[in-house]
């Protein structure tokens, strides 16, 4: 059985930005979501976030996707180098949002697109966060993709993580019910 995965294979793994964010938030959530066990549409919390995003960026926000790519970017600006914009309803899971945007920058760069930086918008808090992609980040992303692949190869979901934000997770009932 093949035990290792090459650098090229890792960089060709196609995950969505949501999967990358869930990898940071909770590996169990990543597994459940990736296996299609989706409760997302039933969660008031998620619905509220979507509504807020839509209202705040009614004109600007237009999801960008192309071809077979798994990456859906909220919107892009810039000419000399593209600026990736992501709109979120709360900075509580900022670490996950930052890696998600870095993944978009990395993905575009790998696809031959000239990128400048990313901006995360938190309209409710009137906050914007600039995100740069460093050399170290590129290594972190490749490592994250490899780890995501490992999680998804597991037959069972990882254990419940018992974090305060579990209460707002769409899988709360499933995990603690
Ligand atoms: S409720 Fe908690 S443990 Fe369960 S998937 Fe959500 S974040 Fe993970």
Instruction: Give the model confidence (pLDDT) of 45-83 as tens digits.
Output: 454 455 555 555 554 555 665 555 677 888 889 878 999
Cα(28)–Cα(11) distance, integer angstroms: 23
pLDDT at residue 59, rounded to an integer: 47
Domain total in the chain: 1
Closest residue to atom 2 of ligand 1, CA basis: 166
CA of 96 to the centre of ligand 1 (A): 14
Closest residue to atom 5 of ligand 1, CA basis: 29
CATH number reported for the structural domain that contains residue 102 in this entry: 3.90.320.10
- Kindly state whether residue 85 falls inside one of the protein's structural domains: yes
DSSP H/E element including 116: strand 115-122
User: Which of 5 and 171 is assigned the larger pLDDT?
Assistant: 171
CA of 167, closest atom in ligand 1: 1
Instruction: Give the model confidence (pLDDT) of 115-171 as tens digits.
Output: 999 999 999 999 999 999 999 999 999 999 999 999 999 999 999 999 999 999 999
- Kindly state whether residue 2 falls inside one of the protein's structural domains: no
Query: Within 13 A of 116's CA, how many CA atoms are on the CB side?
Result: 12
- Kindly state whether residue 98 falls inside one of the protein's structural domains: yes
Expressed as residue numbers, the domain containing 31 is 7-176
**CA end-to-end span of the chain, whole Å?**
37
- Kindly state whether residue 1 falls inside one of the protein's structural domains: no
pLDDT at residue 177, rounded to an integer: 86
């Amino acid at each position: 059985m093949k035990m290792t995965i090459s650098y090229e294979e890792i960089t060709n793994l196609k995950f969505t930005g949501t999967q990358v964010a869930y990898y940071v938030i909770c590996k169990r959530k990543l597994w459940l979501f990736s296996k299609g066990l989706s409760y997302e549409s039933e969660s008031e919390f998620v619905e509220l976030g979507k509504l807020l995003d839509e209202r705040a960026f009614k004109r600007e926000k237009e999801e960008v996707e192309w071809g077979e790519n798994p990456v859906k970017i909220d919107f892009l600006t810039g000419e000399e180098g593209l600026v990736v914009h992501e709109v979120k309803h709360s900075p509580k899971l900022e670490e996950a949002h930052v890696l998600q945007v870095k993944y978009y920058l990395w993905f575009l760069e790998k696809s031959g697109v000239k990128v400048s930086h990313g901006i995360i918008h938190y309209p409710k808090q009137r906050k914007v966060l600039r995100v740069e992609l460093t050399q170290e980040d590129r290594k972190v992303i490749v490592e994250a993709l490899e780890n995501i692949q490992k999680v998804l190869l597991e037959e069972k979901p990882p254990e419940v993580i018992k974090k305060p934000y579990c209460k707002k997770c769409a899988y709360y009932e499933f995990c603690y019910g």
